[in-house]
Amino acid sequence: AYGAEIIYSDPLKGSDGAIELAHEIYDRDPELYFMPDQYNNPANPLAHYETTAPEILRDTQGRITHFIAGLGTSGTFMGTAKRLKEVNPDVYAIAVQPDSGLHGLEGLKHMPSAIVPGIYDPEFPDEQIYVRTEDAYDMMRWLARYGILVGQSSGAALVATLQVAQRIKSDDAVIVVMLPDSGDRYLSTGIFDSVEESYICLRHLREIARRIGAQDIQRPGEMPTATTARAKRKGIIPPECKRCI
């Protein structure tokens, strides 16, 4: 509507590809462009330090014992957890991220294999929980049955939350988890379709990756182009799986 030009980054590089492309465009003419750079802008965690954390403290009457959030830009986790710990150093802060660099959790970063945001301190979380893509998808579908339409990063965060809740013995524990995204943006991806069908396809794709020595994959559609081409040449893509890649 506003006549903006849309420039696409390499989908196989995920958010890292978008970051690299944004810096490349900005560096061509810094006087022409403004780049908020949420991955390195201290205003990102500051916003959560000044607003999100006080809201949590107010709504829980200061009784929060555990804080759980996914790591994307890391701004929500870093800013909120910092303020919560200043008020109560005993608040246990848990960061959630995918269990693999090749994952299907949009909005989350696998920090060991990704460009680490400048605002993120890997020593700050009390604990890191790594979530499988399939488990996050299952959680999305389960919540949708109850009228709660969340996205992939929210599904992952709740998977981690249930793990934490199951091991807590105290009746006084108050766990706060951030569910930052909506599922409506994923309705066209098929993520809410037949679970059995999508998992059969996923198993086929992983077997293909294993046979040709590729890295593990986490969801249908994630095989790199070169890997897919090699698999097709070798004739090892099952017919029922071709639509997935």
Beta bridge partners of 176: 67
Residue 24 included in any domain: no
**Integer Cα distance of 156 and 181 in angstroms:** 11
pLDDT, one tens digit per residue, over 33-70 is: 999 999 999 999 999 999 999 999 999 999 999 999 99
Same domain, 49 and 99: yes
pLDDT of residue 188: 76
Residue 181 included in any domain: yes
Same domain, 158 and 129: yes
The model's confidence at residue 196, banded by pLDDT at 50, 70 and 90, is low
Residue 118 included in any domain: yes
- Phi, psi angles (nearest 5°) of residue 207: -65, -40
Residues of the domain holding 230 = 195-244
The model's confidence at residue 12, banded by pLDDT at 50, 70 and 90, is confident
| Average pLDDT value for residue range 136-151 | 90
Same domain, 207 and 166: no
Same domain, 53 and 160: yes
Q: What is the CATH number of the domain that holds 64?
A: 3.40.50.1100
pLDDT, one tens digit per residue, over 208-245 is: 556 555 554 444 444 444 444 444 455 544 444 444 44
Beta bridge partners of 177: 68
0.95 cut: is pTM over it?
A: no
Residue 89 included in any domain: yes
Tokens of 41: 């802008």
Positive or negative torsion for Cα 48, 53, 54, 58: positive
Structural domains in the chain (count): 2
Same domain, 172 and 216: no
- Phi, psi angles (nearest 5°) of residue 68: -130, 130
